[in-house]
Amino acid sequence: MTSGVIVLIGSFILLLILRVPIALTLVASSLITGIYLGIDPAAIVQRMVGGLNSFSLLAIPFFILAGEIMNEGGISRRLINLANVIIGKVRGGLAMVNVLASTFFGGISGSALADTSSLGSVLIPMMRKQGYDKDYSVSVTISASIQGVMIPPSHNMIIYSTAAGGVSVGALFMGGLGPGLLLGFAVLVLSYVLAVKRKYPKGEPVKKEEIPRIVWEGLLGLLTVVIIMGGILSGIFTATESAAIGTLYAFIITFFIYREIPITRMVAILHRTFNTLAMVLFLIGASSAFGYLLALLRVPQLVSEGLISISPNDFVTILIIVIILLLLGCVMDMAPLILIATPILLPVATTTGMDPVHFGVLLILCLGVGLLTPPVGSVLFVGSAIGRLSIEKVSKAMLPFYGVMIVIVLLVAYVPSISLWLPSFFK
């Protein structure tokens, strides 16, 4: 068994070093190890197909499509305007608008990358024109965007649910809401403190006659989240059914109420959705085969025994898990890490008494922070590209934001009620 573990992990690391795409790396290392162990390659392929045989995965294409439709239809600008009405008048108001708009947009897109791309392309230039430092503008934008992976409907929660063996998607959505809003509030406070310290300008007041229209248009977009979460929590819909109905609502709002784009744009929207979906599903299938071999070689048990041998103290074990996740987030993207780390670390977490929902929320949060850290943080790269700054300069400006996010990570890790009180309340 030990030699099989070496072949599996060794081939995986080698292929990553050779810059083979992660999904192909997972497939190749699984096939190599399967052949070494004398397993029929057809069995590996069957595991890949079986990994996609999950009803909850049907929610992913609907959530991706809903986000693409709303983003294309001008929801970003409307949410920015809504946030500006609520909080834009104070000192550093535009930075705080940035954070609040990310909270709203995260509840529609479920993606930090989409959040940064859509809101950042509008808000970073606006902040520069009003006198904000460029590195500060980028830092606020990308830090606030991490709410998107925590606040429902996050398709990363669905991926974790599949990897964890069917943890309730509704419970995960509710579990991520509290930490996501807490993170947003912490970034909001830090943005205000830095704005006051650096004497950034106050926001411009909104004309009173425009407020009703701005609020109405913004709330229409946010109703997508209400439909999805309301349907799940009321028991009327499953997560998949809510995703489909939310997508239909997004389609109606975008093409028949906002009417900023012609319906012919659906072709491009579907094309982008299918591209994203193909990558996600291929990755899930590849990870299923890899996870099968991890279980066969008893890697989760070995890791659990190893961590417990370092210290039998649950406090220390949880801290080690957090450190491992933060370090892994620095070198690999979120979706593959969810699929790889869950079967290994979830058994370790449950030995400390951690609920699978709590662990899932902590996992997503830690890997979300990884999206902002070099060398492979995808959101960090996108924010730097939009702001036309080097990764090094943005990373330096991010230091206070990293500090705040680490505090939130530790609070979520050691105060389970932050993640579990909403699922418990609605249960």
Mean pLDDT within 329-356: 85
Report the C-alpha gap between 84 and 289 in whole angstroms. Answer: 48
**Above 80 in pLDDT, residue 113?**
no
Predicted confidence (pLDDT) per residue in 42-99, tens digit: 888 888 888 777 777 777 888 888 878 877 777 777 877 778 777 767 777 778 888 8
Mean pLDDT within 168-173: 86
**Above 80 in pLDDT, residue 303?**
no
Domain boundaries, the chain: 2-426
Predicted confidence (pLDDT) per residue in 194-204, tens digit: 888 888 887 67
Cα 17 to chain centroid distance, Å, stands at 25
Mean pLDDT of the chain: 83
346 Cβ partners below 8 Å, 6+ apart? 164, 300, 356, 359
Nearest partner of 114 among 79, 160, 159, judged by Cα:
79
**Above 90 in pLDDT, residue 405?**
yes
Which of the four pLDDT bands, split at 50, 70 and 90, describes residue 36? confident
Report the C-alpha gap between 124 and 101 in whole angstroms. Answer: 13
Which of the four pLDDT bands, split at 50, 70 and 90, describes residue 359? very high
DSSP 50: H
CB 138 within 8 A of CB 397: yes
Report the C-alpha gap between 71 and 254 in whole angstroms. Answer: 9
**Radius of gyration of the CA atoms of the chain, in A:** 22
pLDDT at 412: 95
Report the C-alpha gap between 135 and 393 in whole angstroms. Answer: 7
Nearest partner of 243 among 73, 406, 57, judged by Cα:
57
331 Cβ partners below 8 Å, 6+ apart? 375, 376
Report the C-alpha gap between 244 and 122 in whole angstroms. Answer: 29
**Coil, helix or strand at residue 243:** helix
| Prediction pTM value | 0.84
Least confident of 108-112, 155-159, 173-177, 321-325: 108-112
**Above 80 in pLDDT, residue 427?**
no
Least confident of 27-41, 298-312, 368-382: 298-312
Q: Where are the alpha helices (DSSP H) in 256-414?
A: 266-296, 299-310, 314-329, 334-351, 356-370, 378-387, 391-397, 399-414
pLDDT at 1: 62
Which of the four pLDDT bands, split at 50, 70 and 90, describes residue 238? confident
DSSP 258: I
Between 378 and 407, name the one with better pLDDT: 407
Mean pLDDT within 200-210: 76
Which of the four pLDDT bands, split at 50, 70 and 90, describes residue 360? very high
Which of the four pLDDT bands, split at 50, 70 and 90, describes residue 417? very high
DSSP 256: I
CB 60 within 8 A of CB 277: yes
**Above 80 in pLDDT, residue 40?**
yes
Mean pLDDT within 15-35: 85
